[in-house]
Structure 1
């Protein structure tokens, strides 16, 4: 989630699903193996999600009204990032990176990368030029391999190493 002071809005990446879990103590544990104790879990598409389980929305901070929303088949996979220039950035599980106009929600730029966009995008400037850096890769949390397989079986995980893509923003 991110906030932009000019729009007075929060930008919230959402996964529109529910989960039913069964927990128990009958799991054999190995030292260093981790885990949360779940015996079985089932992911369910949220009744309001229609055809996609991903949503990125702008919500006014003062009254909670929804300013705009962008639905996708797969969930967002990054934190939201706002910029002083009025942009808001988010990436999804299906390898898409979106740059929205923070006020209108219009997509100003989108690209599909070779692997899932993940983590926390950042911007920085060098020599007066602004850049957007986006981490990618399938490393990270276990849910990366379970949620889309349960809810979007037609989407496949791109197998690749972790990396960073850097884009120069227009002057």
Structure 2
């Protein structure tokens, strides 16, 4: 493989490993405060993505903000764990590319497909999970819809890249068989 691509792949893999360490630290930090007697303010707002294209909410009755904050922490932990898995897969993808002679391998295509599915899961976590948790744990009517277009777009981009890599794999196989 091209030396420049190999070096870039190793660099991206190292950077992603650092990000995974930071996410793990954040998870441990939040868990310490959630499960210890230390008091802290619960954030009752879900983070909006860069490309939030639709966000609205409606409620009737009084809502316990501490419970809402706790439910939002559950959603945030779900997103953090999904993101951690995604970073791990991307890190392995670039690490394997750095070691391989050709980037178009079947296991690389599968990893990119998995990234597409993980992005879609993150989209569903932000869109569906809060409403399920609110419906189960909160009295009264509470509806909040967040549609993060960035995560949906990312899922489509990863799927498209997987298809491109799949096509590249078939071309690589043809070239290898011809020679």
Do they superpose with TM above 0.5?
A: no
- Structure number with the higher helix fraction is 2
- Structure number with the higher strand fraction is 1
Larger radius of gyration: 2
Which structure is higher in RCO with an 8 Å CA cutoff and minimum separation 6?
A: 2
